[in-house]
Amino acid sequence: MKIFLLSAICVILVAASPSNRNLPQFDDKVELQDQNNVNDEQEISPMFNAATDTRFLLFTRFNPTIGQVVSAFDMSTIQESNYSPARPTRVLIHGWQSNADSNVNVLTTAGYLRNYDVNVIVVDWSIGANNINYIASRNQVNNVGAVIAVLLDNLQSNGLMADFSRLSLIGHSLGAHIAGAAGKRVLNGRINTIIGLDPAGPLFSVGDVANRLDGSDAAYVEAIHTDIVQLGIGDPIADTDFYPNGGTGMPGCLTAICDHDMAIHYFVESLNSDRLWGRRCANLNEMTSDRCSGFGASMGGNYFSSATTMRLNVNIIPTQGNSNQITSIDFESLEIEGKLFRPLFNPTVDVKFLLFTRRNPFVGQRIILGDIRSLFESNFNISNPTRFLIHGWGSDLNSFFNIEGTEAYLRNNDFNVIVVDWSRGAQTINYVQARNRVGPVGRILANFIDFLHDNEALNFEELTVVGFSLGAHVAGFAGKNVNRGRINTIIGLDPAGPLFPIRNPSERLNATDAEYVEIIHTNSRMTGIGFPIGDADFYPNGGMTQPGCVRHFCHHDRAPLFFIESINSNNFFARACLSFSNIGRDCIGEEVTMGGEPSNSKNSVRGIFYLTTNRRPPFAQGPRGRQSTSNLP
């Protein structure tokens, strides 16, 4: 069997026969693979031993961010940890190409511990999951599940878990099937609940219940289907099956990976909200045709209410013998305005503007919108150009982007560097809430820019606004809403992708938001937007993954690292590509520089550009570099 990259899927996977399924290869083609051979030992990675390589990390309210390593076979590690038999226990299991720091672990752990005093055990099987060969990882599912079953049985046998009635397993993608495998293999009781977050589809036959997640694996099994077309299983396989938006095409997503991961975000949101409701459907056909009209049920966690942006119509209906309930959730309105805010965040008062200059390079001076005195008593120098830095989701004033970006600018010139601190809105585990604060934060920034101009403190022709991730879209909204002039340059550093539809430029960063908009894409199709949306769009190393990166967010974070280096080097040389589809293959145009100070606004740099970088700093390769060499898969 050939090795393949599941993330390269660009066509629909359809069943060809009971034993065959279309699977993607390295060249993005789809070929038939024989599912009868998925247990061939040659396809199992010899580098992974589930019994010794599966790690268990315990998180509690006493150690919410740093896990304690515990063993499935040595209960003294449990007894010496912060584990308490008096608490309920939640076990989290990641999927393919993930690890202990993946979204399903980090976000779900934070969500649980914020709301409940529970034991959260993260199953880290990354040595087996981080394999470019999906088949090898898929074939470790039962092995990892068996090790989890040993842990659970040992907890119960040693008096560390009275029974399994307060035990839940939550698995994403392949992790959902691992949870099922554990449920099938425990000996000392029956797991209370298993939640399958878009259980993986390729190489899992619906008819082969022994080797996939099934409704019989726990007292209650729930599945949340968000990508039934490509990466997830489409058929109902649990006691209750939820199909948000019909199970495919999640709002704001353009890729299968985004759809697949939205199951995680919906579940995390459900831990803070009881608003994820669906209507019961009589059958799968009724669900796909949006004709569900039965009574409602809550998807995921249903503990207490909090502000949410989604209006859900949850529908569940019994099928054969009332064994399966199918729930369709219609995310009808992803509103962008104020009713989505939690009362703890008010952009008018919570967005702060901190000025850094060569006279105060380390401690920012706060300038208050509308307060002329705070402006004139600061070190703001109207003779110097102004640069704004805007952080993204989960960040704050002290993020590496702000600190290193400020330092790089002040090393280059005596700028007015203003850091936009919207951490009160950005630091939430609920990505949807943070995303919906982008527009209001951008409008506050626009008002601030107009305030500076009205007090003769700003020249639009010398203004650059730089935003990372969600911050890139904040910059776009600022550009859309300034009234006193037009921003000269906006630099978007891997603009966030989830929930930003390409077809709606009024709700995202767009080339029309400034005289010149430059985009640096480093994690397209995952965390960042993949399509060109600026005047000039740069795709280092193809724009999807970056050399030297292992963890997911490393690829995303490379965009600000590249830009910060460019401020004082101007050494990232790139070549123009004939089209978006030819990135890295037909890029033979004249060399231009990416990023840099000053920007390319006056250099007529327009189009799509490709370059390669080094694996570690300094990242820039200089003129011509290795532009003729492609790092694309």
Q: Are residues 366 and 441 in the same domain?
A: yes
Phi, then psi, of 219 in degrees rounded to 5:
-60, -35
* Residue 197 banded pLDDT, cuts 50, 70, 90: very high
473 is catalytic: no
Higher pLDDT, 434 or 318: 434
CATH code: domain of residue 97: 3.40.50.1820
pLDDT greater at residue 321 or residue 553: 553
Active-site residue, from 98, 102, 126, 173: 173
Kindly state whether residues 123 and 32 are assigned to the same domain: no
Task: Please check the confidence at residue 401 and state whether its pLDDT lies above 70.
Answer: yes
Give pLDDT, residue 28. Answer: 26
In this prediction, residue 280 has a pLDDT band, given cuts at 50, 70 and 90, of: low
262 in any annotated domain: no
For residues 18 and 99, membership in a common domain is answered with no
Q: When comparing pLDDT for 292 and 140, which is higher?
A: 140
Query: Which strands, in side-by-side order, build the sheet including 30-34?
Result: 15-17, 20-24, 30-34
Q: Give the pLDDT confidence score for residue 613 in this predicted structure.
A: 96
Question: Rounded CA gap, 170 and 264, in Å?
Answer: 10
**Does 17 share its domain with 144?**
no
Q: Please state, for a pLDDT cut of 70, what percent of the chain lies above it.
A: 79
- Summarised one tens digit per residue, pLDDT across range 76-121 is 999 999 999 999 999 999 999 999 999 889 999 998 998 889 999 9
pLDDT tens, 23-62?
Answer: 322 222 222 233 334 343 333 444 799 999 999 999 999 9
Helices (H) and strands (E) in the chain, counts: 17, 26
Using alpha carbons, list the distances in angstroms from residue 393 to 38, 266, 430.
40, 17, 10
| Interacting residues of 208 by C-beta distance below 8 A, sequence separation 6+ | none
Determine whether 290 is an active site residue.
no
Residue 275 forms part of a structural domain? no
Q: Looking at the structure, do residues 63 and 26 belong to the same domain, yes or no?
A: no
131-187 pLDDT, tens digit per residue, is 878 888 999 999 999 999 999 999 999 999 988 999 999 999 999 999 999 999 999
Task: Examine the domain organization and report whether 121 and 72 are in the same domain.
Answer: yes
408 shares its domain with 555: yes
End-to-end CA distance of the chain: 18
Among 196, 224, 252, which residue terminates a domain? 224
The torsion region of residue 243 among left (phi > 0), alpha (psi -120 to 50) and beta comes to: beta
For residue 299, the model assigns a pLDDT of 61
The confidence score (pLDDT) of residue 317 equals 29
Domain count, the chain: 3
3-class secondary structure for 174-199? HHHHHHHHHHHHCCCCCCCEEEEECC
Per-residue pLDDT at 283: 52
Q: What's the pLDDT score for residue 202?
A: 86
Q: Which two structure tokens, joined as six digits, stand for 252?
A: 């704001």
Is 198 among the residues known to form the active site? yes
Per-residue pLDDT at 285: 53
Tell me: do 528 and 467 sit in the same domain. yes
Q: Tell me: the pLDDT tens digits for 479-507?
A: 999 999 999 999 999 999 888 888 889 99
Distance CA 403, CA 419 (A): 9
Mean pLDDT of the chain: 82
pLDDT in tens, 216-245: 999 989 999 999 878 899 888 988 888 888
- Tell me: pLDDT of 274 over 60: no
Which is catalytic among the residues 94, 172, 177, 260? 260
Please report the pLDDT score of residue 47 as a whole number: 78
**Tokens for 229?**
């077309």
Q: Are residues 495 and 396 in the same domain?
A: yes
Asked whether the predicted pLDDT for residue 334 surpasses 90, the reply is no
Per the residue annotation, which of 153, 198, 330, 537 is the catalytic one?
A: 198
12 and 99 within one domain: no
Q: What is the pTM of this model?
A: 0.52
Look up the domain containing 17 and give its range. 6-37
With contact defined as beta carbons under 8 Å apart, do 553 and 625 qualify?
A: no
Q: What percent of the chain has pLDDT over 90?
A: 61
Q: Which of 224, 256, 284 is the last residue of a domain?
A: 224
Query: What is the rounded distance in angstroms from the CA atom of residue 430 to the CA atom of residue 275?
Result: 14
Per the domain annotation, does 319 fall within a domain?
no
Residue 80 shares a structural domain with residue 156: yes
Residue 432 pLDDT exceeds 90: no
Is position 406 within any domain?
yes
Among the listed residues 572, 578, 576, the one whose alpha carbon sits nearest the alpha carbon of residue 612: 572
Write b or e for each residue in 18-31: b if 16 or more Cβ atoms lie within 10 A of its Cβ, otherwise e.
eeebbbbeeeeebe
Residue 54: inside a domain:
yes
Give the three-state DSSP class for 314. Answer: strand
Integer Cα distance of 612 and 395 in angstroms: 28
What are the structure tokens assigned to 9, written together? Answer: 């899927």
Residue 169, classified by CB atoms within 10 Å of its CB into exposed (0-12), middle (13-18) or buried (19+), is buried
Query: What does the pLDDT read at residue 281?
Result: 59
Per-residue pLDDT tens over the stretch 348-386 = 999 999 999 999 999 999 999 999 999 999 999 999 999
